[in-house]
A and B are shown apart, each in its own frame.
Chain A
Amino acid sequence: MGINFNIDYGFAGGVIVTGLVIVFLALVGLTLVVMLLGKILYSISGGSKKTPEKKVQEAPKQAPAPKAMPVKPAMVVEEGIGDEIVAVIAAAVAAMSGDGKQFALRSVKRVKEARSSWCTAGLVQNTQPF
Chain B
Amino acid sequence: MEILVQSVQTIIEKSGFVNLTGGQALMILVSFFLMYLAIKKQFEPLLLLPIAFGMLLTNLPMAGLYHVAIFEGGHIHWDLLNEMGGLIDYLYLGVKLGIYPPLIFLGIGTMTDFGPLIANPKSFLLGAAAQAGIFFTFFGALVLGFTPAQAGSIGIIGGADGPTAIFTTSQLAPELLGPIAVAAYSYMALVPIIQPPIMRALTTKKERAVVMEQLRPVSRLEKLVFPILVTIIVSFLVPDTAPLIGMLMLGNLFRESGVVDRLSKTAQNELMNIITIFLGVSVGATATAEVFLSGETLGIIALGLIAFCLGTAAGVLFGKLMYIFSGGKVNPLIGSAGVSAVPMAARVSQKVGQKENPTNFLLMHAMGPNVAGVIGSAVAAGVLLSILK
Contact = CB atoms under 8 A, between A and B. Distances in A.
Contacts of B192: 130
Interface string B111-129: 0000001100110110110
B148 A16 contact: no
- Size band of the interface chain A makes with B: 35 or more
Contact of A11 (B148, B225, B372): B148
Contacts of A12: 138-139, 142
A25 interface: yes
A127 interface: yes
A24 B122 CA distance: 12
A34 B359 contact: no
Interface in A40-55: 41-42, 45-46
A27 interface: yes
Contacts of B142: 7, 12
- Size band of the interface chain B makes with A: 35 or more
Interface in B333-389: 347, 350-351, 354, 358-359, 361, 363, 372, 375-376, 379-380, 383-384, 387-388
A19 interface: yes
B30 interface: no
A31 interface: yes
A107 interface: no
B312 interface: no
B104 interface: no
Contacts of B136: 16
Contact of B143 (A3, A25, A130): A3
Contacts of A18: 383, 387
A20 B132 CA distance: 7
Looking at chain B's contact residues, is the secondary structure mostly helix, strand, loop, or mixed?
helix
B134 interface: yes
Looking at chain A's contact residues, is the secondary structure mostly helix, strand, loop, or mixed?
helix
Contacts of B372: 27
B125 A28 contact: yes
A35 interface: yes
Contact of B237 (A4, A26, A114): A26
A120 interface: yes
A34 B101 CA distance: 26
Interface string B215-226: 000110110011
B379 A22 contact: yes
B361 A30 contact: no
A26 B379 contact: yes
A30 B136 CA distance: 24
Interface string A60-73: 00000000000000
B44 interface: no
Given A1-B296, A38-B222, 4 more contacts: A3-B143, A11-B148, A25-B237, A130-B347
7 contacts: A15-B135, A18-B383, A19-B134, A22-B237, A23-B380, A27-B372, A38-B222
